[in-house]
Chain A
């Protein structure tokens, strides 16, 4: 975990900001001490909980996938996400037929115990991912680059994976997920390192 100080705010840079993890509690502690911290505890929860993420992005005029919460019913094809204590936006399932949907939904709902979130997509849609480092991307198309900048303005996550759905109508946000340092490309690692070298305050 890296801690940067800039513009009177403390930036917490980490692979993930999951609820009840060390980075999350570092943010909560700072907030209780009155230290302005980026991202905020509210922002990280908003970002990682798919329906909240999409609704907040929609209000900020970011194009998003339409989402639905369900216990059993699903329109196909769809992207399926869990919505419970153990789910993560890193784990999503692209389902095209009923058998695939059944398997994925059983998994993410713990056999129907919890609700799930799905996004109906077009038959021609594909899922793409790009990494945002302080809102900047490398080797992404113009639409994804613009979307990453808007996502950073709203959620302020220094490091995040943006999951996108691309189809004939364009490029829409599906979710925001944690990034593993090991998943970063060489160029992305260099960009992150460069930003950190310039501004790092401490390394824990």
Chain B
């Protein structure tokens, strides 16, 4: 029996959709004969004793997920997302460099350095890439710090703001589309495909409109209904990053396909797997055996009940989870810091 760790944090648990997804993943792993431990940031030192680690928290080289990924790598524990994938995909500069290096179709893109920013450069970017332009701060996720600009003055204003967070930023030609394809890829193979329907009020998959957050709709699409060229482009983009798990965003415009970005730690809780009931089984199989195709369809059907997956992922499971970090800490250490105001 192998032991799988699922790395989660407070943000993972604060979303009911993400919570259900990780519990569903645990149920599948247990049905495959593995034991599962939820690993919180305070449990990172337990990672060397695991047989595999699956990170389900927002990844970035500057947060605890990267520590978890590197711990796994240093102790030869198979991990999704592996540190290299985090370094590449969580940084849009590095991610687009990898797409360019591998000749993957993408919008025309420039990297703008802080020291190069002036009005002449801004005008030149519009001349080269057209109007409007998209500006991205490299650590953007969920479309945060992605902005559309239509004039050199706007570009300078937004760029100055982004340069407070990074010395380089991304400037990109704008590709308009009503939806993004999201192609899930693992070890260079298709895992799932869906469409993210862009809200009419915005050009992003998630945005704040008049003080309200609007989200895209997720529409799972069976593999045989996805254009083969979309799947191929998704696989090419995934292969440009590495051999892990990636969510590739693709736009179609005027008959051409463009990779908009490649995400490590892709969302798996929005219904992406509605037509892919084996999704978690394949991920776990890849982590445990190095082969995502080794997972049996029959096992997947047994795991799925009439309303989805069997197993305890209701309120009881959530309560058990939420208390875990406190238990882990209070057992070992004597001084507790109280953050409340008096």
Q: Are A and B part of the same complex?
A: yes
A40 to B165, CA, bound (A): 21
A55 to B138, CA, bound (A): 28
A69 to B39, CA, bound (A): 12
A173 to B93, CA, bound (A): 33
For A73-92 the 0/1 string (1 means CB < 8 A from B) is: 11110000001110100000
B64 and A83 contacting across the interface, CB-CB below 8 Å: yes
**Contacts A74-B335, A76-B335 given; does A29 touch B41 at CB 8 Å:** no
Comparing B94-102, B149-157, B244-252, B260-268, the segment that makes contact with chain A is B94-102
A72 and B167 contacting across the interface, CB-CB below 8 Å: no
Q: Which of B98, B114, B332, B338 contacts A32 (CB 8 A)?
A: B98
A71 and B61 contacting across the interface, CB-CB below 8 Å: no
Tell me the minimal C-beta distance from B186 to chain A in angstroms. 23
Whether a CB of chain B sits under 8 angstroms from the CB of A125 is no
A42 and B329 contacting across the interface, CB-CB below 8 Å: no
The residue on A at minimum CB distance from B113 is: A22
A contact residues around B323 at 8 Å (CB): none
Comparing B65-73, B223-231, B274-282, the segment that makes contact with chain A is B65-73
Whether a CB of chain B sits under 8 angstroms from the CB of A46 is yes
Whether a CB of chain A sits under 8 angstroms from the CB of B54 is no
For B302-342 the 0/1 string (1 means CB < 8 A from A) is: 00000000000000000000000100011011111111000
Tell me the minimal C-beta distance from B27 to chain A in angstroms. 27
Residue count of chain A within 8 Å CB distance of chain B: 42
A145 to B326, CA, bound (A): 41
A115 and B94 contacting across the interface, CB-CB below 8 Å: no
Within 8 A of A (CB), among B115-147: 115, 138-139
The residue on A at minimum CB distance from B86 is: A45
Whether a CB of chain A sits under 8 angstroms from the CB of B62 is yes
Tell me the minimal C-beta distance from B36 to chain A in angstroms. 21
Whether a CB of chain B sits under 8 angstroms from the CB of A19 is yes
Residue count of chain B within 8 Å CB distance of chain A: 45
**Contacts A22-B113, A29-B97, A102-B338 given; does A72 touch B74 at CB 8 Å:** no
Tell me the minimal C-beta distance from B66 to chain A in angstroms. 7
A contact residues around B61 at 8 Å (CB): 19, 45, 49
**Contacts A51-B44, A56-B74 given; does A102 touch B337 at CB 8 Å:** yes
B94 and A28 contacting across the interface, CB-CB below 8 Å: yes
The residue on B at minimum CB distance from A73 is: B333
Tell me the minimal C-beta distance from B170 to chain A in angstroms. 12
Q: Which of A25, A46, A73 contacts B167 (CB 8 A)?
A: A25
A21 to B167, CA, bound (A): 5
A contact residues around B14 at 8 Å (CB): none
For B5-21 the 0/1 string (1 means CB < 8 A from A) is: 00000000000000000
For A96-135 the 0/1 string (1 means CB < 8 A from B) is: 0010011001100101101100000000000000000000
B63 and A69 contacting across the interface, CB-CB below 8 Å: no
Tell me the minimal C-beta distance from B62 to chain A in angstroms. 4
B334 and A75 contacting across the interface, CB-CB below 8 Å: yes
B contact residues around A59 at 8 Å (CB): 74
B87 and A45 contacting across the interface, CB-CB below 8 Å: yes
The residue on B at minimum CB distance from A76 is: B335
**Contacts A22-B113, A28-B93, A69-B42 given; does A42 touch B71 at CB 8 Å:** no
A19 to B62, CA, bound (A): 8
B contact residues around A55 at 8 Å (CB): 70-71, 74
Whether a CB of chain A sits under 8 angstroms from the CB of B168 is yes
A73 and B93 contacting across the interface, CB-CB below 8 Å: no
B67 and A20 contacting across the interface, CB-CB below 8 Å: no
Tell me the minimal C-beta distance from B35 to chain A in angstroms. 23
Whether a CB of chain A sits under 8 angstroms from the CB of B180 is no
Whether a CB of chain A sits under 8 angstroms from the CB of B166 is yes
A69 to B83, CA, bound (A): 19
Whether a CB of chain A sits under 8 angstroms from the CB of B91 is yes
A73 to B98, CA, bound (A): 41
19 contacts between A and B (CB under 8 A): A19-B91, A20-B91, A20-B167, A20-B168, A22-B168, A25-B113, A28-B91, A32-B94, A49-B67, A52-B70, A56-B70, A68-B42, A72-B336, A73-B332, A75-B334, A83-B63, A83-B67, A84-B62, A112-B337
- If A20-B167, A32-B101, A72-B339 are given as contacts, then 17 extra A-B residue pairs at C-beta distance below 8 Å, sorted by A number, are A19-B61, A20-B93, A22-B168, A24-B167, A45-B66, A49-B62, A52-B66, A52-B71, A56-B70, A69-B44, A71-B329, A72-B337, A72-B338, A73-B330, A83-B41, A101-B335, A101-B337
